[in-house]
Structure 1
Amino acid sequence: MFDEDGNQMVDKKEFLVLEEIFRKKKDKKEVSEDVQRLEQQPLHGKTETTLLVHFFGENGKAELKFEDFYKFMDNLQTEVLEIEFLSYSHGMSTISEEDFARILLRYTSVNDVTGYLENVRHSIPDEKGITFEEFRSFFQFLNNLEDFAIAMQMYNFANRSIGQEEFTRAVFVATGIKLSRHLVNIVFKIFDEDHDDRLSHKEFIGVMKDRLLRRDRGFRVEEKFVSFKSCLKKELSSK
């Protein structure tokens, strides 16, 4: 959208327009005024945040490649997930299956969370745990939930639920992410309400879409994440 000259890179002024739009809602007239104002600004000054220096160098002349920005966002997302994972792992290399279920069910409209947790507790007598790689892969998958939902919809049209092997294959085909057998088994234990070892569209997609919507609308970061988020927000919006 903002690569005006089509060179597969974004320069500093192009990026500042993007940052301004993210910082507050704007109509077309305001965006046009922002572009004109930024074109008249020198590249040095109050806009020299640490983030801008990282992307565009100290003189602001460097250009940001898509691959570099993607890598930055991927690393940032991984660090945020790692903070959450470590808050449950207490220094161990895994979190419990029950804690994984608890994290997934946050921000959902599920009334009987205890019932879901009981399903996991009784279905997984020998606790193996969820590693960070498994944890990260699942949330990467959730970021591509819409693509997977299309595959699930095919089963829904045929009035069919989906088994673990079909679920794993559909995730990989739709998102390119391969979930471990253990992780998929845990997901089924959490969401398989009728205990037939198959998931319906309603049992999984419905709950996960609801989770994403509720998280985005009413997200309240726990106290331990506030300083991290505030720091990032300051970097992105400071002038």
Structure 2
Amino acid sequence: MKKNIWRICSHVIIPLIAGSLSATAGNTLKIVHGSSNSLDIQLANDENVTGIQFCLRTTSGIALTSVKPGNRTADVDWIVDSYRVSDSAVNVLILNGNNQSLTPGHGIIASILYNNIDLQGESSGELCHVMVIDGNGDSLGVEIANLEWNGKITGTENEVEAKSFLLDQNYPNPFNPSTMLTFRLNAAAQVRLSVFDISGREVIRLIDRYQNAGSTNVEWDSNSSTGQKLASGIYIARLTVGNKSISRKMLLTK
């Protein structure tokens, strides 16, 4: 069963998003600390969602054990499947077996159980390789909110995180051969702006420096870090500031 589900991920979801891209900005995927030693993945969406895929990576002080449905995916028609890459990383795929959607709303889509927490050291959880698919088979833009703590959990389900930085959708999009990325900081911070391909490989790091507050424009010419012209397809721009990151999907056409 698990092999068949991951075949769905490889041969249905990814081709669907390859042809179209939605710039919806009202969707958030967030890690919060739940009860009973779990990291809960919350989805807030303003459009119907039919499929979700992500990888959760944690620091070495956390051993991930299992994945269970959340309150939004507890219905029998929802498939919440997982593949543990290592003790500290797990891939999660969420699909509906009856062509139903998650209507606009907010709640937990999956809970990842863990053990062996080292509460005396720094720990973190990070979402990567995120895909959220709408009812038309298009990929939705999603803001990612990761979690970090030192000695005790600092993120809670009811915590409202301040918008300390923003990453706009690239323009133009789709684009050929270049596009502009704009981000804004409310305060000076160490900033990293990278571009990844659909497999999660970093193809170029555009910025990795201490940046003053304000707005910054960065042009990407669709080349890799070695100067190679990249093939058409979906690429992900990710802005990381501290322990938080925002991603935007970009479509390069030829």
Give 1 or 2 for the bigger CA radius of gyration: 1
TM-score (normalised: structure 2): 0.21
The structure with more strand, counted as a fraction of residues: 2
TM-score (normalised: structure 1): 0.22
The structure with more helix, counted as a fraction of residues: 1
